[in-house]
């Protein structure tokens, strides 16, 4: 997502910064990651992001 956002013609993904922040939190702070928070993101936000990404693919 970080590399994608740096492209000149990057598609608009409204939650891009939050996706990057969650990734960084999981990767770098794995010992302090709240499983309930991660599962909430997967259940409540991932389906919408998946639809958005699929709409951008040819």
Considering its fold, how many domains does the chain have in total? 1
Cβ-based burial of 18 (10 A; exposed 0-12, middle 13-18, buried ≥19):
middle
Give the structural domain span for 44. 2-56
pTM above 0.75, yes or no: no
Question: pLDDT (tens digit, 9 = 90+) per residue, 19-28?
Answer: 888 898 889 8
Percent of the chain at pLDDT exceeding 90: 24
pLDDT of residue 43: 97
Q: Cα–Cα distance between 30 and 9 in angstroms, integer?
A: 33
């Amino acid at each position: 997502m970080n590399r994608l956002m740096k492209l000149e013609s990057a598609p608009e993904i409204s939650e891009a910064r939050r996706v990057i922040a969650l990734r960084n939190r999981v990767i770098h702070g794995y010992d302090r990651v709240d499983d309930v928070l991660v599962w909430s993101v997967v259940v409540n936000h991932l389906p919408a992001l998946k639809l958005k990404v699929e709409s951008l693919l040819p």
